[in-house]
């Protein structure tokens, strides 16, 4: 692989902790990840260094979905207006965000029916499911597609995080019973943990979202919040229990063993790969640039010859020899450009390459090389004949150790609050607040609005895993608490 | 991998040779490849059995492009109208086919500027290239993206072959000199041969297209015609020498070693993977169903137990044992459904699975299994202890041997013609005609129109590889011939 983007650049000039927004803008440009100069608002170009990692993320996710019995398909990206309007809550939720294709050709001839650029594919897919699913033998019916979706976002856009076009996977499954559907929701959450934590090193926790914050048309929405540190969270993949809310209007039914026609129970799951990529680079990166899980790095090892006058040939020869020896096993690059070793160090650190191998005249004399690990800068002095064994060992542990370092214990982020004022203080101190809450059904929405205004945080919902806290009353209205909810600032 | 589409179906009821159109319609449905019931004209659903093969085709093509120094990127799928209009020939060629996004949101608010759904990405990419390319050090600059494009096709659509949305790869490269650009065109043609012939088993030949049939804005277009048999051809990937036709209006320039600012030379290459898939299944398939190259088959081996009363357990046990033994190495399925062995044979032949392993009580007694090869139906009786070696051997040769069978010697397809009448007769007899032609520049277009009308064939252009024929005069106007061209019917 060659990468002609490799023009040396100066490093990031701000601290991520002090000015995240500027840090993010700089890393996008300086590590050649995205270009915001494309001349349509909210649409960005993904450059090769990001695209390569994103493709690897897709591959891992698709492999896991297929292992769990999902089959891939490809749907048209336009949805006729009439399909779109079949489920009332769904159309109400998405209509404000739709891009409409309404004209064709040089003269701009008007189409008879407008076509929505899909903001999500329920209303495209389920009419097809109604053709395909006939009998209980066809269930469970599990499908996914990898594609982009378009949403006319009014809010501020930010490359990868939030754009008017983003790249995701959507899985849509049909089951015979509500219980089977709920089991799928659990499987979706397990897959999310496996991908986001074990593979992408982003700590997450699942919440059942309150009624006013769920997917339009869903019975329940379960969303992963990434713990971004300092009490802030970011919504990542969500899985939705649709029950029969879509199978009835779209007639997704089957003949059961007893000969009766019944409606299926549907779930859908939508990991937004481009957004997860944005979260990953933001969360893992440091003031030197990108830090990437080992498998996702476009280049895994860079060899940097440390060249002194009169010693050039011996060092370069050794560097070529190492490169040659390792290139079968690793995605490796030899940087023999004219830049100084220091420039090369900065450059490849910016790019998040997991290992740098330095080789200079003194190392050659000692028959050793130096390996530098990106995520913590640790140096390993290794005898040349032990290089392959050492690299194999370090490489196999890289992502696991990075995850250990990245892990945030949710419990340690939490502060318990019994009053609005102390909740506000905890939020201001960079904590996530656990508190009692009247109801996450519709009637709790007014208390959530008070929290948004007076605490400066959002009600993320009810914890899906084991809940240890127990409160008698609602933080806001003091009515009996029906559950514990978590309040956090959100990106 | 499970595939819940596996409902038994009856076989194809027509002969491919006698009624290709009906054969194709049936195979799409009966092998579960595409669904034309999606309710927007010209947009189809790709079902899992097709999607899995198409994904494998993408992966092979992307790997080859990357080996040849192309890096992946992702562009927005919408192009603002002003970009689109920058190159005059280009806009004239594509404007009639554009889908326009012109409204957003529930109220259908009109956008300030219409956005084209990309019909191809030159006008999206080259403004970015103008930012990214600065100096001769940045060249050659080679990028590709895998994406879909939209074209409002007036003509009849047919799933995979021609639709209003199709899936392709587009590579766009910039060079310092015209010579380098021409070398890239050669590399594109070599990649096409390697993928289409060696991997997908579709015989092709490259023509330089006449002036009136080239890509809008190109200097020259070189297109692969698939030889579909009986003298018919189908246009597959084409590569375009754009020269400086786009680099000037889009200001894709660089500072050369001599300090001068110069315009780059651009090439673009567009293999339409979904169309190649359509060509492949049409060309290789037979009256029993699909035939697929080994690597592209979603399932490579199916084990069919031949069950007799009282012998069920021993046969099933052996089938499970074989399945267990082979599943690490092969994408294998055991069909233990209730269907009869005959139904299973038909079903998996329809699906194009390369090998069927039959195992019955008599085979068990003889310690043998039967392997049946899909593309020619040949049976191999193999001792059980030699099964793995035999399978490995057969599998490694499958695609090569299929290609040998599929190969069409272009020379044997050709008939030479010196008069319109004999050209017409040759075309009617299922031949491709070689003839003299006045000019493939603009001034030859009138002769091409005569050929279309009186011969019933299209001028495909000038052969790119070595030309052996030599004609004194043009078939139509009898002026001195400037070249030899080939006439063929086209799908």
Q: How far is CA A82 from CA A93, A328, B164, in A?
A: 16, 54, 19
CA angle B318, B319, B325 (to 5 degrees): 90
Cβ–Cβ of A101/B117 closer than 8 Å?
A: yes
Q: What is the mean pLDDT of residues A96-117?
A: 95
Q: What is the DSSP string of A356-392?
A: EEEE-HHHHHTTEEEEEETTT--EEEEEGGGHHHHHH
**β partners of residue A117:** A78
Per the CB < 8 A criterion, the answer to whether A160 and A34 are in contact is yes
Q: What is the pLDDT of residue A21?
A: 93
Is the distance from CB of A146 to CB of A107 less than 8 angstroms? no
Architecture of domain B299-396: 3-Layer(aba) Sandwich (3.40)
Q: Name the B residues in 359-418 with CB < 8 Å from any A CB.
A: none
Q: Euclidean distance between the first and final Cα of chain A, in Å?
A: 35
The CATH T-level fold of domain B20-284 is BirA Bifunctional Protein; domain 2 (3.30.930)
pLDDT digits (tens, 9 = 90+) for B345-366: 999 999 999 999 999 999 999 9
Report the mean per-residue pLDDT for chain B: 95
A101/B101 touch (CB, cutoff 8 Å), yes or no: yes
Beta strands A379-383 and A99-104, pairing class: unpaired
Q: Does domain A414-490 have CATH number 3.30.110.30?
A: yes
Q: What is the mean pLDDT of residues A393-410?
A: 97
B118, B78 contact by CB (below 8 A):
yes
Residues 16-35, chain B: which have Cβ within 8 Å of A?
35
Whether the per-residue pLDDT at B66 is higher than 60: the answer is yes
Written in H, E and C, the secondary structure of A181-215 is HHHHHHHHHHHHHHHHHHHCCCCEEEEECCHHHCC
Best mutation target among A69, A94, A100, A136 (most B Cβ atoms within 10 Å) is: A100
C-alpha B115/C-alpha B101 separation (Å) is 5
Q: Which among B32, B45, B160, B337 is the top mutation candidate for probing chain A, defined by the most A β-carbons within 10 Å of its own β-carbon?
A: B45
- Please judge whether B99 and A101 are an interchain contact, meaning their C-beta atoms are less than 8 angstroms apart: yes
What's residue A84's pLDDT? 87
How far is Cα A87 from Cα A245, in angstroms, rounded to an integer?
Answer: 8
State whether residue A74 sits within 8 Å of chain B by CB.
yes
Q: Are A80 and B39 a contacting pair at CB < 8 A?
A: yes
Q: Does B93 contact A at CB distance below 8 Å?
A: no
Taking contacts as CB-CB distances below 8 angstroms, the residues of chain B near A114 are 103, 108
* Radius of gyration for the alpha carbons in chain B, expressed in angstroms and rounded: 26
Quote the CA–CA distance of A302 and A3 in Å, as a whole number: 13
CATH 3.30.930.10 in chain B is located at 20-284
Closest CA to B169 of B64, B241, B246: B64
The predicted-structure confidence for A422-445, as pLDDT tens digits, reads as follows 999 999 999 999 999 999 999 999
Residue A56 pLDDT grade (very low, low, confident, very high; cuts 50, 70, 90): very high
Looking at the predicted structure, is the pLDDT value of residue B175 above 90? Answer: yes
Residue A1 has pLDDT above 50, yes or no: no
DSSP secondary structure, A100-152, as one string:
EEEEETTTTEEEEEEEEEPSSSHHHHHHHHHHH--BGGG-SEEEEEEEEEE--
Q: Which of B4, B421, B86 is nearest to A143 (CA)?
A: B4
Q: Which residue in chain A has the smallest CA separation from B36?
A: A128
Tell me whether strands B45-46 and A483-490 are parallel, antiparallel or unpaired: unpaired
Answer whether B124 sits within 8 Å of A38, measured CB to CB: yes
Percent of chain B with pLDDT over 70: 98
Nearest by CB to B73, from A45, A117, A167: name it.
Answer: A45
pLDDT of residue A7: 47
CA of B454 vs chain A CAs: smallest distance (Å)? 32
| Whole-angstrom distance, CA of residue A435 vs CA of residue B94 | 59
User: Are A360 and A305 within 8 A, CB to CB?
Assistant: yes
The tokens 């062995």 sit on which residue? B341
**Assigned architecture for domain A299-397:** 3-Layer(aba) Sandwich (3.40)
Q: How far is B72 from chain A (nearest CA, A)?
A: 5
Mean pLDDT, residues B420-442 taken together: 96
SS3 A233: strand
Residues 422-451 of B with CB under 8 A from A: none
Please tell me the predicted confidence (pLDDT) of residue B4.
42
- Chain A hits for B132, Cβ within 8 Å: 5, 35
- Does B41 score more than 80 pLDDT? yes
B141 and chain A in contact, CB less than 8 A: yes
- Chain A CB contacts of B4 under 8 Å are 71, 138-142
Helix H or strand E encompassing A230: none
In angstroms, what separates the C-alpha of B104 from chain A's closest C-alpha?
Answer: 5
ipTM of the complex as predicted: 0.95
**Residue B169 reports pLDDT greater than 80:** yes
State the average pLDDT over residues B194-209.
97
- B71 and A78 within 8 Å at the Cβ level: the answer is no
Tokens 């027509």 sit at which residue? Answer: B14
The domain B412-490 having CATH identifier 1.10.3720.10: the answer here is no
Report the range of poorest mean pLDDT among A8-17, A343-352, B302-311: A8-17
Q: Are strands A379-383 and B265-269 parallel, antiparallel or unpaired?
A: unpaired
Alpha helices per DSSP H over A230-334: 273-284, 312-326
User: Among partner residues A52, A78, A95, which is closest to B43 by beta-carbon distance?
Assistant: A78
CA distance B381 to B363: 9
Mean pLDDT across the stretch B330-355? 96
Question: Does A45 lie at the interface with B, CB-CB under 8 angstroms?
Answer: yes
Please list the residue range(s) of chain A that carry CATH number 3.30.110.30: 414-490
- Nearest C-alpha of chain B: how many angstroms from A73? 5
Which residues on adjacent β-strands are paired with residue B232?
B489
Residues of A in contact with B165 (CB under 8 A): 76-78
A132 close contact with B: CB closer than 8 A: yes
For A139-178, what is each residue's pLDDT tens digit? 999 999 999 999 998 777 799 999 999 999 999 999 999 9
d(CA B76, CA A274): 13
Which pTM value belongs to this model? 0.96
Least Cα separation, residue A410 to chain B (angstroms): 35
On chain B, the residues whose CB falls within 8 A of the CB of A96 are 105-106
Determine the 3-state secondary structure of A324 from DSSP.
Answer: helix
Give the residue among B59, B319, B73 at the shortest CA–CA distance from B199.
B59
Q: Do A71 and B48 touch (CB under 8 A)?
A: yes
Chain B residues with CB-CB distance to A4 below 8 A: 71, 138-142
| Other CB atoms within 10 A of residue A395 CB | 17
DSSP A453: I
d(CA A184, CA B255): 57
A2 lies within 8 A of chain B by CB: yes
Distance from CA of B219 to the nearest CA of A (A): 24
Q: Is the dihedral of CA B209, B212, B214, B220 positive or negative?
A: positive
HEC states along chain B? Answer: CCCCCCCCCCCCCCCCCCCHHHHHHHHHHHCCCEECCCCCCCCCEECHHHHHHHHHHHHHHHHHHHHCCCEECECCCEEEHHHHCCCHHHHHHHHHHCEEEEEECCCCEEEEEEEEECCCCHHHHHHHHHHHCCEHHHCCEEEEEEEEEECCCCCCCECCCECCEEEEEEEEEEECCHHHHHHHHHHHHHHHHHHHHHHCCCCEEEEECCHHHCCCCCCEEEEEEEECCCCEEEEEEEEEEEECCCCCCCCCEEECCCCCEEECEEEEECCCHHHHHHHHHHHHCECCECCCCHHHCCCCEEEEECCCCCCHHHHHHHHHHHHHHHCCCCCEEECCCCCCHHHHHHHHHHCCCCEEEEECHHHHHCCEEEEEECCCCCEEEEEHHHHHHHHHHHHHHHHHHHHHHHCCCHHHHEEECCCHHHHHHHHHCCCEEEEEECCCCHHHHHHHHHHHHHHCCEEEEEECCCCCCCCCECCCCCCECCEEEEEEEEC
Task: Using the predicted structure, report yes or no on whether residue A8 has a pLDDT greater than 60.
Answer: no
Mean pLDDT of A100-125: 95
Q: Answer whether residue B1 shows pLDDT above 50.
A: no
Instruction: Using the structure block, give the residue that is written with the tokens 């603002």.
Output: B80
Q: Directed axis angle between helix B48-67 and helix B178-192, to 10°? A: 140
Q: B100 in contact with A at a CB cutoff of 8 Å?
A: yes
Q: CB of A40 within 8 Å of any CB in chain B?
A: yes
- Render pLDDT for A261-291 as a digit per residue (tens, 0 to 9): 999 999 999 999 999 999 999 999 999 999 9
Check CB contact under 8 Å for A71 and B52.
yes
Per-residue pLDDT of A304-320, as tens digits, reads 999 887 778 999 999 99
Confidence label for B9 from pLDDT (cuts 50, 70 and 90): low
Q: Check if A8 contacts B (Cβ < 8 Å).
A: no
> If you ran DSSP here, which 8-state letter would residue A296 be given?
G
pLDDT tens column, B369-385? 999 999 999 999 999 99
Chain A hits for B52, Cβ within 8 Å:
71-72
Long-range contacts of B476-480 (CB under 8 A, 24+ apart): B476/B420, B476/B437, B476/B438, B476/B447, B476/B450, B476/B451, B477/B438, B477/B446, B477/B447, B479/B438, B480/B438
Band the pLDDT of A89: cuts 50, 70, 90.
confident
The DSSP symbol for A259 reads: S
Q: Where in chain A is the domain with CATH 3.40.50.800?
A: 299-397
In this prediction, residues A318-330 reach a mean pLDDT of 96
CA distance linking residue B292 with residue B375, whole number of Å = 8
Task: Write out chain A residues lying below 8 Å of B55, CB-based.
Answer: 72
Mean pLDDT of A380-397: 97
Q: Determine the average pLDDT of the residues in B63-77.
A: 98
Q: Which residues of A touch B143 (CB under 8 A)?
A: 48
Partner A contacted by B491 (CB < 8 A)? no
Question: Of A77-81, A431-435, B306-310, where does mean pLDDT reach its minimum?
Answer: B306-310
Q: Which residue of B has its CA nearest to A92?
A: B106
Residues of A in contact with B152 (CB under 8 A): 104-105
In chain B, residues under CATH classification 3.40.50.800 are 299-396
Average pLDDT of chain A to the nearest whole number: 95
What percentage of chain B reaches a pLDDT higher than 90?
90
How far apart CA A409 and CA B406 sit, in angstroms, is 60
Q: Nearest Cβ partner of B105 from A4, A95, A143?
A: A95
Q: How, if at all, do strands A99-104 and A355-359 pair?
A: unpaired
């Amino acid at each position: 692989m060659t990468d002609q983007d490799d023009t040396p650049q100066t490093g990031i000039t701000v601290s991520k902790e002090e000015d995240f927004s500027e840090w993010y803008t700089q890393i996008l440009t300086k590590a050649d990840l995205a270009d915001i100069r494309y001349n349509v608002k909210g649409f960005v170009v993904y450059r090769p260094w990001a695209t390569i990692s994103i493709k690897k993320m897709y591959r891992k996710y698709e492999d896991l979905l297929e292992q769990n019995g999902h089959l891939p398909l490809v749907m048209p990206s336009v949805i006729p207006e009439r399909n779109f309007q079949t489920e009332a809550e769904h159309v109400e939720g998405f209509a404000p965000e739709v891009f409409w294709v309404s004209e064709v050709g040089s003269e701009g001839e008007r189409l008879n029916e407008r076509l929505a650029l899909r903001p999500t594919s329920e209303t495209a897919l389920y009419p097809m499911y109604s053709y395909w699913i006939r009998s209980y033998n066809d269930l469970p019916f599990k499908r996914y597609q990898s594609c982009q979706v378009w949403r006319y976002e009014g809010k501020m856009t930010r490359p990868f995080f939030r754009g008017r076009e983003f790249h995701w996977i959507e899985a849509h499954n049909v089951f015979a019973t509500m219980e089977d559907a709920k089991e799928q929701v659990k499987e979706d959450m397990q897959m999310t943990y496996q991908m986001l934590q074990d593979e992408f090193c982003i700590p997450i926790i699942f919440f059942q979202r309150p009624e006013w914050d769920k997917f339009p048309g869903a019975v329940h929405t379960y969303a992963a919040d990434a713990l971004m540190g300092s009490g802030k969270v970011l919504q990542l993949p969500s899985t939705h229990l649709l029950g029969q809310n879509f199978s009835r209007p779209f007639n997704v039914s089957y003949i059961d063993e007893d000969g009766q026609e019944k409606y299926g129970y549907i779930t859908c799951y939508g990991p937004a790969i481009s957004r997860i990529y944005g979260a990953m680079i933001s969360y893992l990166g440091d003031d030197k640039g990108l830090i990437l899980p080992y498998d996702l790095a476009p280049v895994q090892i860079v060899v940097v010859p440390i060249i002194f006058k009169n010693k050039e040939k011996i060092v370069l020869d050794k560097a070529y020899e190492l490169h040659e020896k390792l290139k079968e096993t690793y995605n490796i690059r030899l940087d023999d450009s004219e830049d100084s070793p220091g420039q090369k160090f900065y450059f490849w650190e910016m790019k998040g390459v997991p290992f740098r191998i330095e080789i200079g005249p003194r190392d050659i004399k000692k028959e050793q090389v130096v390996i530098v690990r990106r995520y913590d800068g640790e140096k390993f002095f290794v005898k040349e004949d032990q290089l392959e064994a050492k690299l194999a060992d370090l490489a196999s542990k890289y992502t696991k150790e990075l995850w250990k370092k990245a892990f945030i214990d949710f419990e340690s982020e939490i502060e318990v609050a019994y009053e609005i004022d102390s909740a506000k203080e905890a939020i201001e101190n960079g904590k996530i607040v656990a508190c009692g809450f009247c109801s996450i059904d519709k009637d709790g929405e007014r208390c959530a609005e008070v929290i948004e205004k007076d605490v400066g945080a959002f009600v993320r919902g009810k914890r899906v895993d084991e809940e240890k806290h127990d409160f008698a009353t609602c933080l806001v209205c003091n009515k009996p608490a029906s559950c514990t909810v978590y309040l956090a600032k959100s990106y």
